[in-house]
Amino acid sequence: MLAALVNGRVLTAAGILDGQAVLIEGGRIAGVVPLAEVPASAARRDLAGGLLVPGYIDTQVNGGGGVLFNDAPTVETIAAIGAAHRKFGTTGFLPTLISDDLSVVDQALRATEAAIAAGVPGVLGVHIEGPFLNPKRKGIHDAGKFRILDEAAIALLSSLKVGRTLVTLAPERTTPETIQRLADAGVHVAAGHTNASYATLRQALDHGLTGVTHLFNAMSPLTSREPGVVGAVLENQDAWAGIIVDGRHVDPVTLKIALRARPLDRFMLVTDAMPTVGMTDKRFTLQGQEIVVRDGVCVGEGGTLAGSDLDMAGAVRNAVRMLDLSIADAVMMASAAPAAFLGLADQRGRIAPGYAADLCLLDDDLNVTATWIDGNEG
């Protein structure tokens, strides 16, 4: 059945358009047409002047709605996380498993396959963040879970049958050839929790590394004599960099400087969200350690950052208010950029004919008032 979203402002590649309707059929966008050209047979949904934008895609979602992926890597957990974040405009996401045993990694991969097969809304794949990380930049991760990327691990990480697999690793803890093997197997490889030198990161970028997980956090910094991972990323113009825009993980001034060094469409807004998102209870347990939310950020013992209490709607608002970005650029960093990173640039992240009808409706304060995933409002 043909549906028409009418009486809203529509964010397209040409800018924010008035007087246009978005036609949806079979879960995809059938057209963006003047209101007068909407077929009489179409079922109309009045947007009441709201701003219709592409749905947000979050590549780093540890939890939400009171559940953590590591605690129970199941279809039910993935569905609960997706439902919690959908309220904040996330229409596509990668449930994220932080460093754990390979048996748990296997459970996460199999649960992701099952969730996609079951039609859980929004699941695009899975993000395995560790355990192939550097203890010197472990952050809140349990270094006792860390291991070397061996043949068994390579085979496991390459085993997802549907959807995208993103793996965060420390390049200095493996070899360029191994990174290339993962990339050749279809795995998206990002650097994170890494103490790599500039030269090592540059070499990884030449061997299939295409992303960086939470730029500036848990990685070797830019210094006067050793540019480190941060310097290698700021110099590079092609790799995608996830950024957590909550005003606490990275100072907004630092992020503004980074944005001026590289193309905007190579930055992705991510939440690194924990179970507290969408909940009034702002504490949880992570691998035996109590985590609490203080001043809007999740912290463990001693004040170590432990993910975030951020949602994507908040990330977009912060990008506009803290980083002085236009609404169009902030939304692009939450939709088209992560879609391109995942190899989905021709399918998601834009309001254009042929694209998945993954959309969210915003009010004047950029709060989410409605979402659509594959054309279904929820």
Gap between the Cα atoms of 311 and 307, Å rounded: 11
Is 272 tagged catalytic?
yes
Residue 30 lies in a domain: yes
Instruction: Give the H/E segment covering residue 177.
Output: helix 176-184
Gap between the Cα atoms of 105 and 110, Å rounded: 9
Residue 346 lies in a domain: no
Residue-level length of the chain: 378
Please indicate, yes or no, whether residues 365 and 251 belong to a single structural domain of this protein: no
List for the chain the helix, strand, coil content (%; round to 5). Answer: 30, 30, 40
DSSP strand pairing (15-25 vs 3-12): antiparallel
Please indicate, yes or no, whether residues 284 and 328 belong to a single structural domain of this protein: yes
Residue (of 53, 152, 24, 111) closest to 371 by Cα position: 53
Please indicate, yes or no, whether residues 22 and 77 belong to a single structural domain of this protein: no
Gap between the Cα atoms of 372 and 327, Å rounded: 20
Please indicate, yes or no, whether residues 72 and 207 belong to a single structural domain of this protein: yes
State residue 302's pLDDT score: 83
Q: CA 203: distance to chain centroid?
A: 25
What's the number of CA atoms in the CB half-sphere (13 Å) around residue 235? 12
- For residues 121 and 376, is the Cβ–Cβ distance under 8 A? yes
Please indicate, yes or no, whether residues 115 and 44 belong to a single structural domain of this protein: no
- Tell me the average confidence (pLDDT) per consecutive run of 10 residues in the chain, 378 residues long: 97 95 98 96 97 98 97 98 98 98 98 98 98 97 96 98 98 98 98 98 98 98 98 98 97 98 98 95 90 89 90 98 98 98 98 98 98 97
Query: Residue 12 gets which letter from DSSP?
Result: E
Please indicate, yes or no, whether residues 26 and 64 belong to a single structural domain of this protein: no
Residue 26 lies in a domain: yes
Q: What is the pTM of this model?
A: 0.97
Residue 46 lies in a domain: yes
Residue 348 lies in a domain: no
What's the CATH code of the domain at 255?
3.20.20.140
Please indicate, yes or no, whether residues 305 and 180 belong to a single structural domain of this protein: yes
Residue 100 lies in a domain: yes
* 58, 100, 246, 272: the active-site residue: 272
* Tokens, residue 334: 């939450």
- For residues 85 and 273, is the Cβ–Cβ distance under 8 A? yes
Q: Domain tally for the chain?
A: 2
State residue 296's pLDDT score: 80
Please indicate, yes or no, whether residues 60 and 47 belong to a single structural domain of this protein: no
Please indicate, yes or no, whether residues 136 and 158 belong to a single structural domain of this protein: yes
Contacts of 25 (CB under 8 A, 6+ apart): 1, 2, 3, 375
State residue 92's pLDDT score: 98
State residue 295's pLDDT score: 83
Residues of the domain holding 41: 3-53+353-377
Q: How many CB atoms lie within 10 A of CB 294?
A: 12
Residue 347 lies in a domain: no
What's the CATH code of the domain at 15?
2.30.40.10
Please indicate, yes or no, whether residues 239 and 288 belong to a single structural domain of this protein: yes
State residue 341's pLDDT score: 98
Residue 109 lies in a domain: yes
Please indicate, yes or no, whether residues 127 and 275 belong to a single structural domain of this protein: yes
- For residues 313 and 168, is the Cβ–Cβ distance under 8 A? no
- For residues 305 and 139, is the Cβ–Cβ distance under 8 A? yes
Please indicate, yes or no, whether residues 140 and 243 belong to a single structural domain of this protein: yes
State residue 289's pLDDT score: 87
Gap between the Cα atoms of 83 and 131, Å rounded: 27
